[in-house]
Structure 1
Amino acid sequence: MSSIAYDPYFPSSSHKRRVMLRSGGYGDSAGGMASRSVYSSHSAPLSYHGSSRLHYPTYSRSSSMLLSTPRSAAAAELDISQAVQVSTEFKAVRTQEKAQLQELNDRFASFIERVHELEQQNKVLDAELLILRQRHGEPSHLRSLYEHEIRQLRAAVEEARDEKQAAQNHRDQMEEVLQSLQGRYEEEVVSREEVEGQLMDARKGADEAALGRAELEKRTETLLDELAFLKRLHEGEIAELQAQVQYNAQVSVEMEVAKPDLSSALRDIRVQYEKLAHRNLQSAEEWFRSKVSVMTEGTARNTDNIRNAKEDAGEYRRLIQTRNQEIEACRDRNQSLENQLQEVEEEQSAEIAALQESIGQLEDELRTTKNEMAQYLKDYQDLLNVKMALDIEIAAYRKLLEGEENRFSAVGPGTMSSVYSQSLCVAPSRNRPMFSMQSSLTSGAPYLRMYSSSFSSADEIIAASQAQPAESSPQEEEEEEGEKGDEEAKEEDVEEEKKAEGQYCPEFKLMCFQKKLMKVLRCQVPYLQRISTNHTVSTYR
């Protein structure tokens, strides 16, 4: 009995493969050998058995025994037609298998080329990594040099800051001294103004005293003139009185004896006037002397005050000049210190800017180096993922080749019978996509399940690398497909000729293909070990 099974090693949904299975004898006691062919599709599940199938009679040992008995011509023709039909179908199946093997050979050759290309890229990256390591060799030594240089620069910056702080403290002290000198100067200015006010008051007092003295002198002169005038007037009156008395005495007649004596009266009056004038003169002289003594004392006192004020003013003037000179010296010193401080600040700022620029350059170089190393590690990881994905696909092809080898070793050349499916037997697609990790994992191989959780990103990388050239040049793919179709048609003709000559041997081709695959795998084993070791070392670092 025949059945349809689905081959999980073919990802195309429209591709059906003829699988040859060995079975025991059917219906006879001799246990003859029979074969069955099954067309399977990868799109349907393994447990699906279609109901629309055509069953062809299988040729067992009993049927071969019937051929030896005498039969009619119609039965012989029917058997011949069935044999021709079976041979035609077997030829079509072998042609299809040939096309599949050619496609697998092409894909395997492309995989080998891709592996060689990746090996070359890996060698180039290893060389670049070696050059970078040689260029940036001994990073700890460079780091120690950088740290030593940075420590020196920081020490210089700290020293400059200390000098700046000392200069600022000295400037603050000088500012305090200047402020104290300015306070003393202001006090001296105020005291000078006070002394000048006192001097002005003394000058005003001296002027007033001089004016008073002049007035007193004028009044004294006036009094002296008045006294002289009164003396003259008094003398004139006395002279007149004397002349009158003399005249009266000459012209008078005898007078009565009881009349008073005029001469004695005049003498008394003259004595009284002389006493009065003498008293007035004494009082005037005393008043004048008192006034003159008061003014002389005031003048002397004012003169002493003026002299003392002048001396004080001269002393203050000298002190002010001294303070002005000290202030000018302090100003010059402060200006020189400010200039020195400004120069030191400019030098320190320039040094700090240079140090910051050098530090920034070192940090940029370090950041660039880290980015380059990260990029190299990323590229290395991507290549490693792609490599592992290719190794997984190679393992899948190896499982496929082992299955093909087992199938061809199990199939006998003279005991084949065919069972065909009623569904469409379309020829395998020429531009069938490459095996991805997902299709390899669904094949049920335990070797692929081990890597299902580790290399999911490699599938995406391969799919992206396949999709990019497919989108960039669709016309070139169509032209290449047409050329491949022509080449395959020519190869089919050559294969038919070889088959006609008896030189067609698919088992030999499978053996050669398996030898090539094993050789490539043996070449890749040390490379994968070296990559895994480098990856472990880089991850540890």
Structure 2
Amino acid sequence: MSVRKRHRSTRGTPIYSQGFSSKSMGSHILPKTSAPVSVAAPVMVVTTDQSLLESLNLEIDPSVISVYTQEKEQIRTQNNRFISFIDKVRTLEHQNQMLRTKWKLLNEQTDSHSNIESKLKLYITHLERKLDDLMTSNKHCEEQREASHHQVEEYRERYEQEYNTRNDAENAFVLLKQEVDIATMSTANLHQKLSLLENEQEFLKTLHDEELHEQQQRVAPSSVVVEMDNCRKLNMDDIMSEVKAHYKSLVAHGREEVESWYKAKLNQMAAEASRNDTQLHDNKNKVTELKENIRRIETEIQAVSSQISSSNRWLAEVEQRGDKAVMQAKSHIKDLEQALRGAKLSMANQIRDYQGLMDVKMGLEMEISTYMKLLEEEEKKIQNPSFLHIRAGVARAVTPVQSP
């Protein structure tokens, strides 16, 4: 603040006024009285001090100069403090602007963090939905696996049943083959016996014929005439013919019986053999069908086993991928939560610093306002300075003094 100098002419002597108060100059302002002068009052003798007639000492008192110097230094100090306060205010305003910008950025970051949280929540919801789908598909695969196991067990039971049926059929086939072999052997034995009986029949027939021929030869040359009294005749021809016929009938009847028995037996054995052949053919067809069914069931079992193994591998891969995705999401969420906590802590620290700076600013503003008021008062005092009233002894005759 510049010190203004004013020149006032008081009896031709310049007086410097720099905003000092009248008290600082050691002057006293005479009270002004507005009461009218009474003319009718009695004239009193006015005595004057002769010292007042001496020349005035217009030198400035050193104490006044020291006070003036002190006030000047105080004004300079206040001016410097005011300038420093203005710089501080500008710095605080700049810091305030920076803090406002940081606050705005932090709010935007908070919004972005909130957006990230919403995105993370959506991603977690998506992962949970995907995990639910995987669990549902896992349950479905488990149900399919259980159904496949049940079907495999059914196929295994059917296979065992068919295998047992095959074994039973093979055993029956072996038994039937043994019976057929036995029947074939018995048929061969019967044919052999039949041939032996036929040979024996031919031999007996030949023997009978020979004996008959011998008997005829024996009877033929000897003719015996027997005469009896009773006149009975023995007809040997008739007897022989009867015996021969009876023997032939016996032989024929025996042959017919044997032939009929052998034919019946052969027919029975042929029927049994044809029945056994038919049953054997049926058994062979059943065995072939069973073999085809066994091959088909084994193929289906292999296919179901490969499907179950592939389903288990797929389930293991899906579970591994799901666990990996869940772990990654959890780690990402943990990192974001840590970053969010760090951001919240830094924001809280910045808000605390901002609050402290705002408190400092308010204190400085209050101090600045106080100093501004003081400066305004000082300026008002400087702009409206008090005049120095210097008392000088002036001899002034109010009324003429009457001589006694």
Q: Does 1:317 align with 2:285?
A: no
Q: Does 1:307 align with 2:144?
A: no
1:287 corresponds to which of 261, 278, 283: 261
Query: In structure 1, what is the equivalent of residue 247 of structure 2?
Result: 273
CA distance 1:220–1:329, shift in 2 (3 Å): same
Q: Does 1:148 align with 2:122?
A: no
1:212-242, Cα deviation, whole Å (9 max, x unpaired) = 1331232132133123213312431442243
Letter in 2 for 1:294: Q
Q: Is the 8 A contact 1:178 1:327 kept in 2?
A: no
Query: In structure 2, what is the equivalent of residue 224 of structure 1?
Result: 195
Cα deviation, residue 203, structure 1: 4.4
Q: Does 1:183 align with 2:154?
A: yes
Q: Does 1:201 align with 2:172?
A: yes
Q: Is the 8 A contact 2:166 2:290 kept in 1?
A: no
C-alpha distance in 1 between matches for 2:281 and 2:181: 16
Gaps (5+ residues) in structure 1?
1-122, 384-522, 531-541
Cα deviation, residue 344, structure 1: 1.7
Letter in 2 for 1:198: A
Q: Is the 8 A contact 1:171 1:337 kept in 2?
A: no
Cα deviation, residue 169, structure 1: 0.8
C-alpha distance in 2 between matches for 1:313 and 1:230: 49
SS in 1 for 2:191: helix
Gaps (5+ residues) in structure 2?
1-91, 368-404
Q: Which has the higher contact order (CA 8 A, sep 6+)?
A: 2
Size of the aligned set, in residue pairs, is 267
Cα deviation, residue 336, structure 1: 2.4
Q: Is the 8 A contact 1:164 1:341 kept in 2?
A: no
Query: In structure 2, what is the equivalent of residue 476 of structure 1?
Result: none
Q: Could you say which structure has the larger radius of gyration?
A: 2
Q: Does 1:526 align with 2:363?
A: yes
CA distance 1:529–1:222, shift in 2 (3 Å): farther
2:128 corresponds to which of 157, 179, 200: 157
Query: In structure 1, what is the equivalent of residue 81 of structure 2?
Result: none
C-alpha distance in 2 between matches for 1:142 and 1:366: 7
TM-score, structure 2 normalization? 0.54
1:351-395, Cα deviation, whole Å (9 max, x unpaired) = 1001111222233344456667789999999x9xxxxxxxxxxxx
Q: Is the 8 A contact 1:202 1:306 kept in 2?
A: yes
Q: Does 1:336 align with 2:310?
A: yes
CA distance 1:273–1:528, shift in 2 (3 Å): farther
C-alpha distance in 1 between matches for 2:350 and 2:204: 143
Query: In structure 1, what is the equivalent of residue 301 of structure 2?
Result: 327
Cα deviation, residue 245, structure 1: 4.8
C-alpha distance in 1 between matches for 2:361 and 2:293: 103
Query: In structure 2, what is the equivalent of residue 235 of structure 1?
Result: 206
Q: Is the 8 A contact 2:127 2:326 kept in 1?
A: no
2:327 corresponds to which of 343, 353, 358: 353
Query: In structure 1, what is the equivalent of residue 84 of structure 2?
Result: none
1:364 corresponds to which of 334, 338, 341: 338
CA distance 1:242–1:170, shift in 2 (3 Å): same
**RMSD of aligned C-alpha atoms?**
4.2
CA distance 1:524–1:224, shift in 2 (3 Å): closer
Percent identical:
18
CA distance 1:178–1:287, shift in 2 (3 Å): same
C-alpha distance in 2 between matches for 1:347 and 1:224: 89
Letter in 2 for 1:148: K
CA distance 1:356–1:282, shift in 2 (3 Å): same
TM-score, structure 1 normalization? 0.42
Q: Is the 8 A contact 1:245 1:263 kept in 2?
A: no
